[in-house]
Structure 1
């Protein structure tokens, strides 16, 4: 089949009819033509719903009876064979509608004297019609090209003009639909943040929205590893969380982080939650908030948990970076409590981590490298007592030996510098 046999306008109309008929579609995918046979078997067995013939009186097929769309249980499949003509049709339809909408809007704003009174009277209804066309065509276009910035901006313009709650809900649904097949789309994540900013302070169920957003990120993170944009969105949400939600998120994200110890984004999210607790302690004097003792307990639990992960999962840099953050928190906010205990614990952890039982296992070498780098960094941050304690420990001699074994590697200067610091002290 070639593109000449396809009617792009008919395809676009059909796709938009499907989207209008089911506003709760939550997943879209692009299907190879050969895969439609398997989907059609489901339809004939009664477990699916084949809407190609139901939505339009004229089914969208070519002379070889190709099927172009599949729709069932709020899932939408689009044949890859029609993506290019469908995109071109959606783009042309959107740009034409958007151009017409802007011309009408400018005419209304300027109250052009050249227009007759009857034409001015009809402008509001014409604007509403054009707005619906822009929203309809932009939705189809964004499903085919999620980074089409003009389409996202056109939707923002219309939604900000109307300021209707259902429209905000529709925008969240659309961006979630785009993220179902493009979970790292910066445009879609940015659009979600814009919507949330618009409804913040105006919605009575803001906490419920935050919960749904956090769950969305968790789902997408499972399907798309190392999704920095998704986790950045979740970090941004922390500023809208209540004290109870911060504690709940800290607890609920722990299991996920424990199973994805190489994903630094999740540990960065946990860092943001702990920082939010510190911010709330400074500014929140309500009885519903948590106390300083509760925060100290949460910090201690986090420190012990990360130490356990470091011993269990050898050579994972994200764990050492998170421990570095926890040490900074201790130095800035908790250093008045048990300084000797903290110093000894860190030296003990580093000492156990620099043991390399198997040179053929590269992760042990990485573990020793991260451990020595961490202790070097900590020695520069801590008071003189740290250097004294380090020199007293057997770990000090191990660090010297490690520096000699490393030779001319990048750690030579780092490990040597810590020895010089400790000798000076």
Structure 2
């Protein structure tokens, strides 16, 4: 890079450094479009927001880049760490995509020339301007790992990281890096505990409902669902009640007589989570027509639903089995409700050597005929309800919404070719 002498660069960098030191609540940084130098400081600090007038950006960046590259090439001649930190702050705020500068900053952190908590604050401010910066999120992960080695409070770190990733996701749509960072935090800071997973499940529902085109936010929802289904036990009985209501609502399409009182809570909660998400997804698809992200999310939910029910039946069935006694009833009820008819899936009757939660019983324990029949009806009705809801959703798509119609037809093909459901052509209604 060519020399670009700018005597005011050091003063500007010092002012930026001073703002960070004096304002621990600093939350934003941005470039202010001012093309003329009015012979005053281009550094603006108002209401915990930092700004830099655009006329000086090129000059400051060229100055910091040249000085930092010189320092990097001449490592045997040590630069003042305080000067390096000031230059790196200015350079990264203006262009955070240079990996070399982040490596130099890590070297200062390892030498205890910079504070770890202060570094989290710096990167949070930086992300306000560049919310999709992969290098910044990678740097935060590195800092968090160092803090964990120093026995920092995991809960406090988790709260901060979730706030930062949420802010970045709000500032930039489909922010894959922000949502990936959020997943990483739950993995390393929460260890997939049920309480934080359920809290995130609840809070993310409102977010995805107001960002219906955000694939990354919906992918985060899938991440949460996947790990919630793997939990053997949930933290609160409130979840059981909500799950029970979701299942009854899901089954109310045609099985008002069905009860789930004999089914144990773990199965109720797991199925209830998927059922509630399918009902939410149906509502969003019909309210916000033409958003492909919602249809893609639905396919994941249906795959998860089918996989969960199939694995549950396989665990209880053992070797061999017979067809479900409710197959004919499901065919008839689905045909009556949709006026189109659907074909049901093959359904195996569960073995009486498993309990209603799919856990092997003791050698001297067996399910009673009543429990076996209840579980049989429950699993069959869930699969039948899944088919019925897909027919109803496609039929409720408005014919005047052309893009929505295209997505519905694609979904119909997917149901036939991927889930192997023999669903006939469905007529759309107004």
Assess same fold via TM > 0.5. Answer: yes
| Cα gap change, 1:14 to 1:219, in 2 (>3 Å) | closer
1:143 is aligned to 2:93: yes
Contact kept, 8 Å, 1:87 with 1:141, in 2: the verdict is yes
Name the CA distance, whole Å, in 1 between partners of 2:394 and 2:18.
63
Work out whether residues 347 and 375 of structure 1, in 8 Å CA contact, stay in contact via their aligned partners in 2. no
The answer to whether the 8 A contact 1:356-1:368 is kept is no
* Structure number with higher helix proportion: 1
Q: What is the deviation of 1:78? A: 0.5
Does 2:214 correspond to 1:263? yes
1:311-355 per-residue CA deviation (whole Å, 9 max, x = no partner) reads: 333333222222222223223333336343233323323323434
- The answer to whether structure 1 residue 379 and structure 2 residue 379 are counterparts is no
Give the TM-score normalised by the residue count of structure 1. 0.68
Looking at structure 2, the residues matched to 5 and 233 of structure 1 have their Cα atoms a distance apart, in angstroms, of 38
TM-superposition CA deviations, 1:343-398 (whole Å, max 9, x none)? 33233233234348765422331342243133124533xxxxx54xx4xxxxx2x2
Paired residue for 2:151? Answer: 203
Q: Deviations over 1:275-296 (max 9, x none)?
A: 2224443xx8999999734333
Residue 31 of structure 1: aligned partner = 32
Tell me, yes or no, if the aligned pair for 1:159 and 1:168 is still in contact at 8 Å. Answer: yes
Instruction: Report the TM-score, using the length of structure 2 for normalisation.
Output: 0.67
Taking structure 1 as reference, are residues 95 and 4 closer, same or farther at Cα in structure 2, changes over 3 Å only?
Answer: closer
Alpha-carbon spacing, 1:143–1:342, altered in 2? closer, same or farther (3 Å): same
Measured in 1, the distance between the counterparts of 2:234 and 2:409 equals 43
> Aligned pair in 2 of structure 1 residues 363, 356: CA closer, same or farther (>3 Å)?
farther
- Relative to 1, partners in 2 of residues 1:98 and 1:331: Cα closer, same or farther, differing over 3 Å? same
Deviations 1:54-86 (A, max 9, x none): xxxxxxxx6x53441111332211010000111
- Going from structure 1 to structure 2, the CA distance change for 1:151 and 1:224 (only over 3 Å counts) comes to same
* Distance in 1 separating the partners of 2:46 and 2:398: 54
C-alpha distance in 1 between matches for 2:308 and 2:395: 32
Distance 1:171 1:195 in 2: 8
Partners of 1:179 and 1:346 in 2: CA distance = 42
CA contact (8 A) 1:220 1:230 kept: yes
1:221 equivalenced with 2:169 (yes/no): yes
Relative to 1, partners in 2 of residues 1:279 and 1:207: Cα closer, same or farther, differing over 3 Å? Answer: farther
Establish whether residue 243 from structure 1 lines up as the match of residue 168 from structure 2.
no
Aligned residue pair count: 331
Distance 1:202 1:7 in 2: 39
Which residue of 72, 75, 83 maps to 1:133? Answer: 83
The 3 A distance-change label for structure 1 pair 303 and 368 is closer
Quote the Cα distance in structure 1 between the aligned partners of 2:6 and 2:80. Answer: 30
Counterpart Cα distance in 1 of 2:87 and 2:26? 16
Aligned equivalents of 2:221 and 2:295: distance in 1?
14
1:87 aligns with 2:61: yes
Give ranges in structure 2 of 5+ residues lacking alignment: 241-264, 314-374
User: Structure 2 vs 1, CA of residues 377 and 271 (structure 1 numbering), >3 Å: closer, same or farther?
Assistant: farther
Q: CA RMSD in A?
A: 3.3
- Alignment pair present for 1:352 and 2:392: yes
Matched, 1:157 2:107: yes
